[in-house]
Amino acid sequence: MRYGHTEGHTDVCFDGTGSCIVTCGSDGDVRIWENLDDDDPKSINVGEKAYSFALKNGRLITAVSNNTVQIHTFPEGAPDGILTRFTTNANHVIFNSDGTKIAAGSSDFMVKVVEVADSSKQKTFRGHDAPVLSLSFDPRDVYLASASCDGSVRVWKIADRTCTTSWPLLQKCNDVINAKSICRLGWQPGSGKLLAVPVDKVVKLYRRETWDRKLDLSDPFITQPLNVVAWSPCGQYLAAGSVGGNIVVWNVETQECIERMKHEKNYTVCGLAWHPKHRQIAYTDTEGNLGLLENIGDGKKPNDKVASTVTKDYNDLFDGDDDDYLNGDMVEPQSSPKAGADEDDGDDDDLRPTSGHPRRAVIDDDDNSLDIGMIKANLNLEKEDGDDDQTSGFPALPLSSTQQPFYDGPMPTPKQKPFQSGSTPVHLMHRFMVWNSVGIIRCYNDEQDNAIDIEFHDTSVHHATHLPNSLNHTMADLSTEAVLLACESTEELASKLQCIHFSSWDANKEWTVDMPKDEDIEAVCLGQGWAACATSALLVRVFTVGGVQKEIFSLPGPVVSMAGHGEQLIVIYHRGTGFDGDQCLGVQLMELGKKKKQILHGDPLSLTKKSYLVWVGFSAEGTPCYVDSEGTVRMLNRGFGNTWIPVCNTREHCKGKSDHYWVVGIHENPQQLRCIPCKGARFPPTLPRPAVAILSFKLPYCQVATEKGQMEEQYWRSIVFHNHVDYLSKNGYEFDENTKNQAVKEQQELLMKLFALSCKLEREFRCVELADLMTQNVVNLAIKYASRSRKLNLAQQLSEMAVEKASELATAPEDEEEEEDFREHLNAGSAREWSRPPVRNVQQDQEMEDADETDGCEEAEETPEVPKQRPNPFSKGVTSAEATTPKSVVIASSSQGRVNPFKVTSNKKDPVVPTANVLDTMSKYSKKTSLSGSRAANKQNHLVIKPLTPKPKSKQASAASFFQTRTPNSSEKTAEEREEKAGNEPHEAKVAAQENTENRRPKTGFQMWLEENRANILTDNPDLNEAEIIKEGMSRFRMLSSEERMAWTEKAKGGALNDLTDDKKRKRSAADEDEAKKNQEQNSEDSNLSKKPKPLDQSTNVRLSAFAFKQS
Amino acid sequence: MEPAEAEFLAEKELVTIVPNFSLDRIHLIGGDLGPFNPGLPVEVPVWLAINLKQRQKCRLIPPEWMDVAKLEEIREQERKEDTFTPMPSPYYMELTKLLLNYASDNIPKADEIRTLVKDTWDTRVAKLRLSADSFVRQQEAHAKLDNLTLMEINTTGTFLTQALDHMYKLRTNLQPGESSHSQDF
């Protein structure tokens, strides 16, 4: 029971399929309720006051207070004309069983029967001496029953407008308002054998033709006069509602009462309607409430059985399968297959009435012979009679009248029309033909002018242009190279594709291509160096931007939209027919570059329920995205098997229900969804000029209100929005390394935070799961964290995992490009041991301790001062901060071009240099990420605006230049580098891990010499720092004879090729040589394996100490 | 303070522009600006907005309050109240002048806005004169004026303080025996 209308008379019914409840009330609205809990019913205002309504075949007939009976379409609610008028208002309107006629009874004592298709064909029934209360059509369309305030219930013969019979049953009164009961009477559906009339507290059932009273249905439960009766669609049950709010349901056959219901507030029930399929009754009362009575007859065995067969019967209608119960009934087996056939050729007049009636007749009773006879007679009658109204009525709506009862499954959705992304509807006089990241094309099409305005966001691309639109172009796309326009064909002219290639260097900036006859362009798009159009012949034609015809391929279905970016082309098309408001779309994504390939092979496109596609395109970084009409933005997740991931729901940002965001662009870095807010519309007007707003992305993760959910969302968002980096690098595009490093840092930082959070919550298993996502360095940090928070079990688990990871890394070295190496410097003895494979730990221990005692004590005591003592000018230790400052500035300016001269603090350590270790500078990230993040963003942005150009060689080059800008910073380094070059060692250019690159490079003779003699130098001058050691080493090396030097150089060249066994043999020599060979071996491993796992315990210890330092 | 100085201060106010060029973030002593992406609104100080506008490098988006309906409401409010009503911007007059002078093509109904702001200004200045007058007449020692903008204070500030100084001098020079009403002449 719920509020439905304001107080006053109401009426209710189900729509043809039972999918919704429809009510009308004295507020003049007809409301369509999806169900009883629907808080937002669709309202159709039909007048000031609605007295009664009837619904059939998508037509809604209402009797309203301006004395008319009018039609509206259903469910749209568009007015569809007036059927008839009275001198006062009509009290009741009804449809006949096939929906071709309506009957209305009015307070002016008249009853009219009107053809729905032709309102001029009216029949007026005069005879009542008071306002007409209620009407009921005989299901066979022969008779019409009416009840009036004059106390009489009459049966009229429709054909000759005569009163067949009349019973004085009711109390007389002068107006409807004063009537005790509105006396909604009803014929039994199907055969129409019985007419039920509510009279006081009983329902009187009269037989057809004989018009004698068959029986009375009554119940002690009913204490007040009955107001309405309603037959179940099967004709077996009868429901009656009383003035006192009681509803009673009888089984007519057994006269048994199967359901009693008391209105909770005892309001007068004035509307009753059975669900066409289920055992449900919707009712309304005079206070405007709507209620639903469900599972009628439940708990009573015999009735239950009957009821279930009722439903079976309906199923049988669809599959034509007869069960025993029905076999006794000869009507059904004939009619059901016919009914099926009828759907196919709905024009079949002969079949139609059969299919309309016997459906109900079947269930009627066991008295078949009579029934069939009656129906047949009725059939013939109708046919012979040829009641001109009727026959003429049939062809008018054969389909709807037959489809309605038979097919109520999912309805096919109209296919959405092709569109250009970022355009507003074609019918507008002033519209956007395209709004994308390059510019805006507007089209003006009014009396004086038919023109196209092209405007570029960036005026440096091209100046704004105004073109006459003589060809009546409707589709357009815009890139930084060209403008593509297309028009559909007209009677004389073929469909044309016009390209204004403004970036062309010759004098001809334009070309036009005519499509073959009967082929219309439906969608166009531009990529880099190519243009494409999809046509009505299900073809996609690719052209070069200069106008050369290139590839051509067939689409599996009609195109919906397409978009291009760089080499990529995405085409969305209709894969099939969608049902119930859904679209059935497919997507093809292909690359038209050098190696042409298809990435998405016509996969289904996931759309929100009952939505359609409104935008498709690429992010500025080249990831395909699309938006559906429910505002969900989805992006291709290249990191997860090319699945689509919803990244934003623009509806969440809308204030009003009818507000929308009109998407114009998507950027992954910075994460921006550029769109235009439209108040109360789906698209913006051209004037006033709309302003772009920026929305942020949010993945629909659970519990984002919690810290955990939030971080998880951030983590995965960061992963998703940096997939493009991998894609770009794989495809040889230029991109900013810093972005990637920044992303990895951000992700690892989030993981670490999540780890800490789980640690705090004692979720150790979860901790291990999180650690599994971390890179190895961060795992080490996690181990440290775990051991510090006294979770030794966890730490143990993690170190096992770390070992596993390490071995994984060793087996798959090429997979871990971003895996950072801890070694900061080639010759930095302090960090050397990081690169040792774990198997050698035992051997190393001894000499490692010899080599650098500082690290030894670091290991032992975890003293925070230790990093400071590292004699390494390039280490990230605190002491070296000054040393790195100038270098970092140089690098920044060379790689970035610009830097903030006013920002002093955060430049101390350059964020741009790919840090060796993601997290050992974690404490500084908060400062840095903002600066470098935005800077990287700018960079990226910059890159975005210019089209991406494939530069396969650029990595190498940039690495080299990177390298060179570094060298002048320390003369020692330069010298060393020179040595390297002299030795003709090839640089292994790896941008991702520059430090690694350095480490992996085969050593020069000097370096090898230095390694061997470092200990000597150190013993001589124990307080030298790394730079000084090198300097000292240089001078000593120079003092050697040229032969010796040559020998070293030779050794260095040979060293790279030395195999491991050789190294191992040599290792057992003198103490200081041993170390050198270790390094050598290590280096040969470097060059052979290119990657090696790290010893865990040592690295852990050092990290631990660093961590301890940062904590303090 | 000169009106030009007030205007100078007003130029620090932020307005939104839509640039038609692309530029990284620029780092200035007063803070970072940008990044500038063609077609994307960005907030910049008025001085930069005007500079870019003059070079046809941007389109200006008028401040939210620079709208006929809003200004009409403000004007009515100002006329209705005896005291000063709060203004949408502490530099409303300066901004209106500057933006309408340099970017009137980007501001719809520029002329109406100019009139409305001028009306409001006149009302306020009239109120200010009136209150200064009553302040002097009633020989009050202090008065409180809320919601005055810098430019408005400047219109009377120097004159009023000097005038008060003079009056003070004149009053202190009066003989104690003399009646004050002779001053009325």
Domain ranges of chain A: 2-293, 736-806
Read off the pLDDT of each residue in A161-185 and give the average, rounded to a whole number. Answer: 86
The pLDDT, as a whole number, for residue A993 is 39
- Cα A23 from Cα A32, distance rounded (Å): 7
Q: Would you state the pLDDT for residue A395?
A: 38
Taking alpha carbons only, the member of A1104, A1093, A1071, A1007 closest to residue A843 is A1071
**pLDDT of A1071 higher than 80:** no
Quick one: pLDDT at residue A318? 45
Does any domain span residue B19? yes
Span A583-589, average pLDDT: 93
% residues pLDDT > 70 (chain A):
67
Give the tens place of pLDDT for each residue, A382-420.
444 444 444 333 333 344 444 445 677 888 889 999 999
CB pairs under 8 A between A and B: 62
Whether residue B24 and residue A457 make contact (CB cut-off 8 A), yes or no, is no
Residue A244 scores a pLDDT above 50: yes
pLDDT score of B175 = 59
Q: What is the mean pLDDT of chain B?
A: 89
- Chain A contact set for B20 (CB, 8 A): 456-459
CATH architecture of the region A2-293: 7 Propeller (2.130)
Task: Tell me whether residues A938 and B20 touch, CB distance under 8 A.
Answer: no
B34 vs A903, A934, A988, B17, B38, CA distance in Å? Answer: 16, 10, 38, 11, 11
CA distance A475 to A495: 11
Of the listed ranges A453-457, A772-776, A896-900, the one predicted with least confidence: A896-900
Averaged pLDDT, A462-489: 92
Alpha helices by DSSP H, A912-1025? 922-945, 954-966, 971-982, 994-1000, 1005-1020
User: Residue range A88-117: average pLDDT?
Assistant: 88
Ranges A91-95, A142-146, A428-432, A964-968: which has the least confidence? A964-968
Q: What's the mean per-residue pLDDT of chain A?
A: 74
Cα distance between residue A1024 and residue A1021, in whole Å: 6
Asked if residues A223 and A178 have their Cβ atoms less than 8 Å apart, the reply is: no
**Could you tell me whether strands A439-445 and A450-456 are parallel, antiparallel, or unpaired per DSSP bridges?**
antiparallel
pTM: 0.51
Q: In what order do the strands lie in the sheet with A269-274?
A: A2-3, A289-294, A280-285, A269-274
Specify the pLDDT at position A862.
42
List of chain A residues whose C-beta atoms are within 8 Å of the C-beta of residue B58: none
Return the pLDDT at A839: 42
Calculate Rg over the CA atoms of chain A.
Answer: 42
Mean pLDDT of A588-606: 90
Residue B86 in any domain: the answer is yes
Cβ-based contacts of B108 with chain A (< 8 Å): 688
Concatenated DSSP letters for A281-296? Answer: EEEEETTSEEEEEEST
Task: In whole angstroms, give the CA distance from residue A815 to residue A828.
Answer: 27
* Higher-confidence position of A468 and A339: A468
Which tokens belong to B154?
């400047």
Q: What is the dihedral of CA B125, B126, B128, B132, to 10 degrees?
A: 140
Q: Cβ of A902 and B29 within 8 Å?
A: yes
Which amino acid belongs to residue B47? W
pLDDT for the residue A80: 84
Please say if the pLDDT value at position A639 is more than 80: yes
Length of chain A, in residues = 1112
Question: How far does A457 lie from chain B, in Å, by closest CA?
Answer: 5
**pLDDT at position A348, please?**
40
pLDDT exceeds 90 at position A969: no
In a mutagenesis test of the B interface, which of A912, A941, A942, A945 is the best target, namely the one with the most B β-carbons within 10 Å?
A: A941
A561: confidence class by pLDDT, cuts 50, 70, 90: very high
CB environment A791-800: b (16+ within 10 A), e (fewer)? beebbebbbe
* pLDDT value of position A365: 42
pLDDT in tens, A991-1028: 433 444 444 455 667 777 777 777 777 777 777 777 77
Give the count of beta carbons closer than 10 Å to the beta carbon of residue A598: 12
The enclosing domain of B49 has a CATH number of 1.20.58.1020
ipTM of the modeled complex: 0.79
Residues of chain B with pLDDT > 70: what percent?
A: 94
Is the pLDDT score of A150 beyond 60?
A: yes
Q: What percent of chain A has pLDDT over 90?
A: 21
Chain B residues with at least one Cβ partner in A under 8 Å: 16, 18, 20-22, 24-25, 27-29, 32, 34-35, 37-41, 56-57, 59, 61, 108
Which of A558, A562, A564, A615 lies closest to A584, judged by CA? Answer: A558
Question: For chain B, first and last CA: distance in Å?
Answer: 32
Enter the DSSP assignment of A733: B
- pLDDT tens figures, A702-755: 999 999 999 999 999 999 999 888 888 888 877 778 888 888 899 999 999 999
B41·A945 Cβ contact <8 A: no
From the CA atom positions of chain B, what is the Rg in Å? 22
Cα distances (Å, whole numbers) of residue A800 to A4, A754, A765, A773, A808: 66, 20, 14, 15, 12
For residue A945, the chain B residues in CB contact (below 8 A) are 22, 37-38
Domains in chain B, number = 1
Q: What is the DSSP string of A684-711?
A: --SSSPP--EEE------TTTTSHHHHH
- Mutation pick from B21, B23, B24 vs chain A, by most beta carbons of A within 10 Å, is B24
- Does the structure show a pLDDT above 80 at A967? no
Q: Is the pLDDT of residue A850 over 70?
A: no
Mean pLDDT confidence for A511-534: 93
Q: Identify the pLDDT of residue A1003.
A: 62
Name which residue leads in pLDDT, A447 or A690.
Answer: A690
Cα A125 from Cα A503, distance rounded (Å): 80
Minimum Cα–Cα distance from A673: chain B residue: B40
Contact between A784 and A1104 under an 8 Å Cβ cutoff? The reply is: yes
Owning domain of residue B97: 3-172
Other beta carbons within 10 angstroms of residue B133's beta carbon come to 10
Residue among B26, B28, B40 with most chain A CBs within 10 A, to mutate: B40
More confident residue, A927 or A772: A772
Q: Which residues of A touch B (CB under 8 A)?
A: 437, 439, 456-460, 674, 688-689, 691-692, 694, 897-903, 934-935, 937-939, 941-942, 945
pLDDT tens digits, B126-164: 999 999 899 889 988 888 888 999 999 988 888 888 998
d(CA A683, CA A695): 17
Q: What is the pLDDT of residue A1074?
A: 53
Nearest to B39 among A692, A935, A942 (CB): A692
Which helix or strand (DSSP H or E) is residue B119 part of? helix B110-137
